[in-house]
């Protein structure tokens, strides 16, 4: 069996890393990198740090409007699939790269395996919600992280036999990388930070950062948080947000210390030792549940409701006072939850299922 993997952004590289490690020297596979993310600290650093093989193809699509970006990916990926003739294509998550990879495959009648299937925020304004819903519609293998996502898929009419609950490979990635991080990096020392004496922030969702007033409101809420606790907020700033802050000519409050996007080892260490994490990221809501660090999500909806149920995460919305209240509440909670995303063997399970389903020893 020949497997094609399509990836393109930071979270896809990180979350696919445990799977790529297992596939390497084990099954016949190739990687297509769409080039949706391309700068050193959004892309290449993850291949280097996580010691991943270089993609066989890099399409170098780069940043574009959604239609143009997805369309160019689709065209180039299709050409490669026609030449390579994979039996199965693996995609992970909900980015434009995922949509293009899955669509190119299914139109050529190549089987599609969607990892992280069945996530729904029910917010149709999110580009990610459109991508993941469409990809789930035609995928042949739906690898759902939790029973909750399985039920979502069943309620949408997906076939029972195409759904497999395997956990999320983010647990595998965190487990594999934390040990290395503790040996190789010391970001706290580098930034002169003490454990539990700073907050970590990430903010990059289009609905939060692409509108001036919304972004200003959120920065004000974050300033309130930093002032109340009198500790800094460390913010590895996503290039989308950096661009918007410059374009809108907004001043970032001095309590928020912006740094470049970090490599995975440094960022894990930053998260693990933080007093609390503030974010609008999908993956970071999951990681905080694994690292047992409380999380406040600066959004009005989440496709990770499991983290709310176990109490590792809370949805703060976008009102500044509400954000501060949520931080206070979360800091009063015990960190005694168990991550809902599995035991760190999701990648292994996915490969075994694919082998079984395709009669490979
Ligand atoms: C994309 C995904 C989002 C995911 C995020 C992970 C879609 C629709 N969005 O959003 O789901 O959460 O990746 O981080 O697929 N830029 C750079 N260097 C890079 C990449 C981007 O400077 O390597 C800048 C460009 O100015 C670009 C902007 O960031 O216009 C946004 O990049 P893009 O890939 O379009 O969307 P993300 O916000 O990164
Ligand atoms: N991450 C990282 N360095 C950073 C910020 C995030 O390595 O400076 C990692 C983070 O640990 C998580 C992933 O990037 O594994 C999340 O990516 P992002 O928030 O960009 O995307 P999302 O998960 O929202 O799609």
Q: What is the pLDDT of residues 137-169, one digit of tens each?
A: 999 999 999 999 999 999 999 999 999 999 999
Residue 361's pLDDT is 75
Which residue puts its alpha carbon closest to atom 24 of ligand 2?
Answer: 281
Closest CA to 292 of 314, 265, 272, 268: 272
- Closest atom, ligand 1, to C-alpha of 36: 34
Which of 126, 174, 281, 304 gets mutated to test ligand 2 (max ligand atoms within 8 A of its CB)?
Answer: 281
Q: Is 204 a catalytic residue?
A: yes
Q: Quote the CA–CA distance of 334 and 340 in Å, as a whole number.
A: 17
CA of 277 to the centre of ligand 2 (A): 12
DSSP 53: P
What is the average pLDDT score of the chain?
Answer: 97
Region of poorest pLDDT, from 79-83, 180-184, 278-282, 316-320: 180-184
Quickly state the pLDDT bin for 224 (edges 50, 70, 90). Answer: very high
Does pTM top 0.85 for this prediction? yes
* Matching residue, tokens 């289009």: 206
Rounded distance between C-alpha atoms, residue 279 and residue 316, angstroms: 10
Q: What is the pLDDT of residue 105?
A: 99
Ligand 1 in reach of 240 Cβ (< 6 A): yes
pLDDT of residue 119: 98
Minimum-distance ligand 1 atom for the alpha carbon of 97: 15
Q: In Å, how far are 42, 97, 202, 249 from 239, measured between CA atoms?
A: 9, 18, 11, 15
**Distance in angstroms (rounded) separating the CA atoms of residues 358 and 361:** 9
- What is the reported pLDDT for 360? 85
Consecutive H or E run containing 247: helix 239-248
Predicted confidence (pLDDT) at residue 341 exceeds the cutoff of 80 = yes
Protein residue closest via CA to atom 33 of ligand 1: 63
Q: In this structure, which ligand is nearest to the CA of 241?
A: 1
Q: Is the CB of 96 under 6 A from ligand 1?
A: yes
Task: Please give the number of the atom of ligand 1 that sits closest to the Cα of 283.
Answer: 12
């Amino acid at each position: 069996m020949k497997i094609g993997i399509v990836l393109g952004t930071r979270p896809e590289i990180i979350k696919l890393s445990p799977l790529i490690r297992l596939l390497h020297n084990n099954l016949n596979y190739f990687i297509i990198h769409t080039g949706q993310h391309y700068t050193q600290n959004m892309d290449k650093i993850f291949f280097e740090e996580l010691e991943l093989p270089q993609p066989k193809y890099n399409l170098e699509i780069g940043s574009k409007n959604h239609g143009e970006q997805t369309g160019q990916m689709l065209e180039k990926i299709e050409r490669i699939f026609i030449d390579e003739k994979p039996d199965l294509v693996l995609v992970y998550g909900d980015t434009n790269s995922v949509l293009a990879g899955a669509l190119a495959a299914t139109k050529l009648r190549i089987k599609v395996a969607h990892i992280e299937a069945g996530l729904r925020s029910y917010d149709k304004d999110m580009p990610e919600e459109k991508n993941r819903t469409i990809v789930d519609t035609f995928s042949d293998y739906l690898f759902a992280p939790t029973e909750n996502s399985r039920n979502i898929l069943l309620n949408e009419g997906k076939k029972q036999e195409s759904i497999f609950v395997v956990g999320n490979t983010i647990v595998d990635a965190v487990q594999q990388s934390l040990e290395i991080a503790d040996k190789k990096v010391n970001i706290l020392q580098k930034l002169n930070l003490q454990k539990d004496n700073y907050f970590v922030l990430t903010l990059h969702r289009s609905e939060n950062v692409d509108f001036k007033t919304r972004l200003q409101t959120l920065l004000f809420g974050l300033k309130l948080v930093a002032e109340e606790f009198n500790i800094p907020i460390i913010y590895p700033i996503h290039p989308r947000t950096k661009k918007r802050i410059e374009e809108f000519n907004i001043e970032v409050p001095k309590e928020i210390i912006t740094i470049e996007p970090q490599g995975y080892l440094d960022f894990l260490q930053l998260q693990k030792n933080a007093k609390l994490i503030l974010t609008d990221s999908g993956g970071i809501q999951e990681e905080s549940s694994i690292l047992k660090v409380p999380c406040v999500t600066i959004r009005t909806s989440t496709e990770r409701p499991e983290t709310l149920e176990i109490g590792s995460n809370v949805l703060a919305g976008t009102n500044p006072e509400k954000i501060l209240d949520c931080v206070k509440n979360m800091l009063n909670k015990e960190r005694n939850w168990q991550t809902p995303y599995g035991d760190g063997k999701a990648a292994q399970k996915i490969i075994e299922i694919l082998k079984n389903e395709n009669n490979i020893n």
